[in-house]
Chains A and B, each alone.
Chain A
Amino acid sequence: AQTVTQSQPEMSVQEAETVTLSCTYDTSESDYYLFWYKQPPSRQMILVIRQEAYKQQNATENRFSVNFQKAAKSFSLKISDSQLGDAAMYFCAYRSARSEKLVFGKGTKLTVNP
């Protein structure tokens, strides 16, 4: 079964600095999708960024970018120029292209210090 591991339960960053959140996953599939979701205190799940496994180029969305290492099964999220509004739980998620199931990690709580 696929699993997603986020090894950092909590992280903190100074406003305007850069932080990287780690995610590793275990799968025998070759075609899959990876996602980072943000869950602020309001508890809504918001899609931050996604990566398709067949694409070698790392995805970017404004201040958010990923480092996708397919051979290492690693999918880290980099947040540049951190803002107070970035404070939230961040969840890494995996979905096989052959399945509807989205498998989540346990999350990383990000604190942004002013």
Chain B
Amino acid sequence: DGGITQSPKYLFRKEGQNVTLSCEQNLNHDAMYWYRQDPGQGLRLIYYSQIVNDFQKGDIAEGYSVSREKKESFPLTVTSAQKNPTAFYLCASRTKLRNQPQHFGDGTRLSIL
């Protein structure tokens, strides 16, 4: 089945540790996105990528890093510089066609130990 797969579903981070969230899509979508969701809030854009080997900062990029080495994959690293990483993280993708919506994965819940 075509879709967006995020792993793991739950992730725990120790103080000072970097962790990486995986996002893989087999929809042949060009653009991929990472969002953060906090309780009672809408989604906020962390990073996005429109093409392989290129990505742009969103509204809350500090403390996060990404890579886009393959079209299918857009991993997000939450670094130790992100002081409040506890949140729900959603990955999305869409085709280049201008009127197409973003489709989302099932999310990863990150918590601090």
Residues of A within 8 A of B (CB): 4, 33, 35, 37, 42-47, 50, 52, 91, 93, 97, 100-102, 104-107
Contacts and interface: CB of A to CB of B under 8 A. Distances in A.
B75 interface: no
Contact of A104 (B43, B101, B107): B43
Contacts of B104: 37, 44-46
Contacts of A35: 101
18 contacts: A4-B42, A35-B101, A37-B104, A44-B104, A45-B43, A45-B90, A47-B101, A93-B42, A100-B31, A100-B33, A100-B56, A101-B48, A102-B33, A102-B43, A102-B92, A102-B102, A104-B44, A107-B41
Given A97-B98, A100-B48, A105 B103 contact: no
A104 B99 contact: no
B107 A44 contact: yes
B50 interface: yes
Interface residues of B, number: 25
B24 to A, nearest CB: 16
Contact of B40 (A52, A104, A106): A106
Nearest to B107: A43
A43 B88 contact: yes
Interface in B57-113: 58-59, 88, 90, 92, 98-99, 101-107
Contacts of B106: 42-44
B11 interface: no
Contact of B41 (A42, A100, A106): A106
Given A43-B107, A91-B42, A93-B42, 14 more contacts: A33-B101, A35-B101, A37-B104, A43-B88, A44-B107, A45-B90, A50-B101, A97-B98, A100-B50, A101-B48, A102-B33, A102-B45, A102-B102, A104-B42
